[in-house]
Amino acid sequence: MHGWRNRATVIKRMNDLRSQINSLSAAEKAELLDTVWESLEADAASLTDAQRAELDHRIARHEQNPSDVIPWEQVRAGLFKKP
């Protein structure tokens, strides 16, 4: 039950964020995107060797067969499907 409550909280926070983002101007969205991207770059610097190796492996697999993907709509539907 505790895990479901956490998931519900995360979904609510994401929906709240989505609403806030939708109210931004295009310039503000671009600035937000830039800030998020920079934070991802900072997080990438703290990857372990195993995490970096896994990412390299996944990138190589994708480059070998770029059409072997799952569409975002399908991934998203799976994320928000109730257990």
Parse the chain into domains and list their residue ranges. 25-67
The angle subtended at Cα 26 by Cα 20 and Cα 27, nearest 5°, is 105
Whether the CB-CB separation of 39 and 50 falls below 8 Å is answered with no
Sign of the dihedral defined by the CA atoms of residues 15, 36, 34, 71, in that order: negative
83 or 58, which is more confident: 58
Report the pLDDT value the prediction gives residue 3, as an integer from 0 to 100. 61
| Distance from the first to the final alpha carbon of the chain | 11
Judge whether residue 24 has pLDDT over 60. Answer: yes
Dist. CA 39–CA 15, nearest whole Å? 21
Q: Has this prediction a pTM greater than 0.85?
A: no
Condensed to tens digits (0 to 9), the pLDDT of residues 53-82 reads 999 999 999 999 999 999 999 998 888 887
Report the pLDDT value the prediction gives residue 43, as an integer from 0 to 100. 73
Whether the CB-CB separation of 40 and 32 falls below 8 Å is answered with no
